[in-house]
Structure formats: structure tokens, C-alpha cells
Amino acid sequence: MAHPDSGGGVLSRSLLPDLSRGEPSTLAIVGVTASGKSAVALAVARRLGNAEIVSADSMQVYREMDIGTDKPPASVRAEVPHHLIDVADPSEDYSLTMFQAAARGARADIAARGRHSVLAGGTGLYHRAVIDDLDIPARFPDAAAALEQEPDTSALHLRLAELDPVAASRIEPANRRRILRALEVTVGSGRPFSSYGPGLGEYPPGDIFQVGLWLARAEVDHRIEQRYHRQMADGFLAEVEALAVRHPPLSRTASQALGYKELLACLDGRISLDEAVALAVSRTRRFARRQERWFRRDPRIVWLDAGAGAEPLADEVLSRLLQFRLGH
């Protein structure tokens, strides 16, 4: 990852009216978990005065999953409107397609009211679905179930090479999950998986400015551990206990949420509470590494040092946003 830039923040306050009065725009704030995206997004929205936040977090969509997903408190959401939080029941498998449609609707509604959108969250694919308006293939459950019966991943890759050689060339022969998805779409739709847009390896220019918040790994690791300690003190275990006995039960997607998965294992008696928290911290740190690799591949992201704090960063972000808009 390139080292974060600095400078430019002094411009934002004097030129803030230019941003506020301009055409509605979307700003995206990305970064690894615990990097402070929500705080910076809120500070930016407050400065603009006519902005609303669109969450790009795959777990904050679920109602009743509040502490472990680190949702903004109700007071903050009352002050600055937030979208795509608490939109699904925890028993629902909320999909990328559902998110993309909801995000499109939210952004259109915000723009129609002459306001700016601030897209913030750590789910990389959700961001790309908005940033690049991805052409997302439908799901084909019957085709997927039939393909799952084949235990030989190499055989599946060979089949994909016959049906869609372009997709096969882009997927590692051992990556069973991606091979199955490509075959599911190709077989189910009758259309090659590779025909759905340019793919995630392409980063075309666009009209959404992206800022990435950078932190040293040691600081990320520290923040992740401290956040879990805070969440446990705030009642995270009680929240998971209530979810564990609810009917209908948690969906496959919701039950895999970091922290929730480990505490559910504790409640089932499979591991101790201390082991659950330690495992959640470890898995979340590994997740942060994957997020970092995902976001740093995108050359369009401007990286800023998250250690500066939310308020100075908000000034810097708005200055960069103005520069971006003047260049378009």
C-alpha cells in the first residue's frame, strides 16, 4: 500500500460552501476494520451539512446485531441520516444483489433531495458494487446444488474451461468457491460468467471519489483487541445469547459474522469465553489483512493517515474531494 498523503486540509473550510452548493456527489471512505471510517464519515457529513451516510457493511444490515457490528448509536443516526442499517432480519441471507439495489435507491433518493452521499464501510465487494455499478449475475440454486455434488475441484475447473475458458483462465484451479460460482452462473443462465462486466480486476475511472484510511498493522491489531474488550463490557455476550434462541434462527450469513460466530460456539459449550474472545480477535485481525489487500489493489483510492483523527481527516477529505471535482 502506498504511504498516505498529507497536506491540503487548510482549503476545506474556506471552500466548504462550494462543495455544499455543488451538484450532489458521492464520496467513498474505505479501509480496514477499526480504522475509524464511521467517525470520519460522520465528521465529513457534519461539515457538509447536507450529506447522508450510506453504510457498506454486510453485517450492519441486520437488526438486533448492534454491539458486535459496532453500529453508530441512535443519537448519531438521528443527527445524520444513515442508510442500509437495520434493513434485514437476522434470519435472512442478505445478498450483494439486494445491497446493490438498495444502495442505488438510497443514493438516488439522497441526490433527488439535493444532498451528498458518503459511502462508508469495510465490505469491499459492497463498495465495488456501488463504485463500479457491477453487473451482478443472479443466483441459480438448482444449478449450484447439482455442481456441489462433484467433489473433484479439478474436474470442475476443467468443465469451466470448456464452457467459459476466459473465466477459467482468471480463476485458480484450486479455488473451489469461485469455480462453483462461475459454473453456477454459466450453467444456470446459459451465458458465460466472464460476460458479466469487466470483472473485479479492472478499475475504470469514475465520478466517485474514494479515500482510504491507512494505519500501521500493529495499531490495527491493537484497536481490534480494544474494541472487543469494549464490546464485551457493553453487553455483546447478552446480545448473542438473545440471537441464539430466536426463531427463526440466524441465517448462514448472519451466524458467520465475526465475533458472533465465536460467541455462539462459546454458548454451545464448544469453547470457553476467553477462547472465544481470543479467537474473534485473531480472526478479525486476519480479516483486516484481507481487507487491506483488497483495497490496496484499487489505484483510484487516495490514502490518508488515519492516525490524524477524525476531525483533521474530515478537513483533508473535503479538500481532496473539492480537488477531485474541479478536475472532472
* 123-174 pLDDT per residue, tens: 999 999 999 999 888 889 999 999 999 999 999 999 999 999 999 998 889 8
As a CATH number, domain 11-135+200-326 is 3.40.50.300
Give the mean pLDDT of 57-68: 98
Confidence of residue 12 (pLDDT cuts 50, 70, 90): very low
Provide the pLDDT for residue 196.
Answer: 84
Q: Structural domain boundaries of the chain?
A: 11-135+200-326, 141-195
Residue 326 has pLDDT above 90, yes or no: no
- Contact present, 120 and 41 (Cβ < 8 Å): yes
- How many Cα atoms sit within 13 Å of 161 on the Cβ side? 10
The pTM (predicted TM-score) of the whole model is 0.86
CA atoms within a 13 Å half-sphere pointing along the CA-CB vector of 115: 22
How far apart CA 177 and CA 248 sit, in angstroms, is 27
Average pLDDT of span 264-284: 98
The pLDDT of residue 201 is 82
Coil, helix or strand for 83?
A: strand
pLDDT value for 3: 57
Q: Kindly provide the b/e burial profile for residues 292-310, where b requires at least 16 CB atoms within 10 angstroms of the residue's own CB.
A: bebbeebeebbbbbbebeb
Q: Does residue 23 register a pLDDT over 90?
A: no
What lies within 8 Å, CB to CB, of 283 at 6+ separation is: 258, 262
Question: Residue 92's pLDDT is what?
Answer: 95
Least confident residue range of 57-61, 70-74, 307-311: 307-311
What pLDDT score was predicted for residue 175? 86
Domain 141-195, CATH class in plain words: mainly alpha
User: What pLDDT sits at residue 245?
Assistant: 95
